[in-house]
């Protein structure tokens, strides 16, 4: 089981409900550290994640981690629980997906053992589909499977109902479901 990844991802939009599609955070990309303007940008290799994952990112032209990815990925890889808030388009989705995917591929298991090992919960169906699409594009080359399930997760939901729903997920033969609230 993957424990400790509790990345709360919050959409930060401009006034009203308009969602900006700002280009990813090359704009936010700066190495905070040595203060040198000419310091080379880091690549995803700096996280020591599996080379195939880095290659997959490269094939999608995702070469340099954004500012929020630089901060979040290391902490999640270390097992910290994090709360991450950053503007839309800043790369939060991969910031929490990459450590999960890296961990899943580190601990391969056979079909007979197949079990849910990670769960992503998001607040809308649209977001569930977006996250699934990103997650699939990055994890498929590593042989990981995921599914989308819609279920209402509410504080007052009886634990037995919640557990029953997750048990049903397991029949679907997926490594990790992405649920909508």
Ligand X SMILES: Nc1ncnc2c1ncn2[C@@H]1O[C@H](COP(=O)(O)OP(=O)(O)OP(=O)(O)O)[C@@H](O)[C@H]1O
Residues making contact with ligand X (CB under 6 A) = 11, 24, 62, 64-66, 69, 86, 88-94
Contact 24, 134 (CB under 8 A): no
In the complex, the smallest distance separating the C-beta of residue 15 from ligand X, rounded to whole angstroms, is: 16
At its nearest, how many Å lie between ligand X and the CB of residue 20? 8
Nearer to ligand X, 90 or 105 (CB): 90
Alpha helices in the chain (DSSP H): 51-59, 67-77, 92-106, 125-139, 159-171
Q: Which two tokens stand for residue 18?
A: 């308009």
* Token duo for residue 72: 């979040």
Contact criterion met (CB below 8 Å) for 101 and 135: yes
84 vs 169, beta carbon nearer ligand X: 84
CB of 36 vs ligand X, minimal distance in Å: 21
Choice between 44 and 169, CB closer to ligand X: 44
Cα dist from 72 to 92, 97, 162, 171, whole Å: 8, 11, 29, 32
CB-wise, 87 or 145, nearer to ligand X? 87
Q: How far is the CB of 126 from ligand X (least distance, A)?
A: 10
């Amino acid at each position: 089981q993957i424990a400790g990844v509790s990345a709360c991802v919050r959409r930060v939009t401009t006034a009203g409900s308009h969602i900006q599609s700002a280009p990813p955070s090359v704009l936010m990309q700066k190495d905070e550290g040595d203060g040198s303007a000419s310091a080379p940008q880091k690549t995803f290799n700096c996280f020591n994640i599996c080379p195939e994952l880095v290659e997959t990112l490269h094939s999608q032209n995702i070469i340099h981690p954004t500012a929020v990815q630089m901060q979040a990925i290391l902490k999640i890889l270390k097992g910290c629980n994090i709360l991450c808030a950053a503007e839309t388009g800043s790369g939060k989705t991969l910031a929490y997906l990459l450590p999960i995917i890296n961990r899943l591929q580190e601990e391969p298991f056979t079909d007979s053992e197949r079990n849910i090992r990670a769960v992503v919960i998001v607040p809308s169906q649209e977001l569930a589909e977006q996250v699934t699409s990103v997650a699939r594009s990055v994890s498929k080359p590593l042989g990981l499977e995921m599914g989308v399930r819609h279920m209402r997760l509410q504080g007052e939901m009886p634990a037995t109902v919640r557990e029953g729903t997750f048990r049903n997920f397991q029949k679907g033969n997926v490594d990790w479901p992405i649920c909508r609230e």
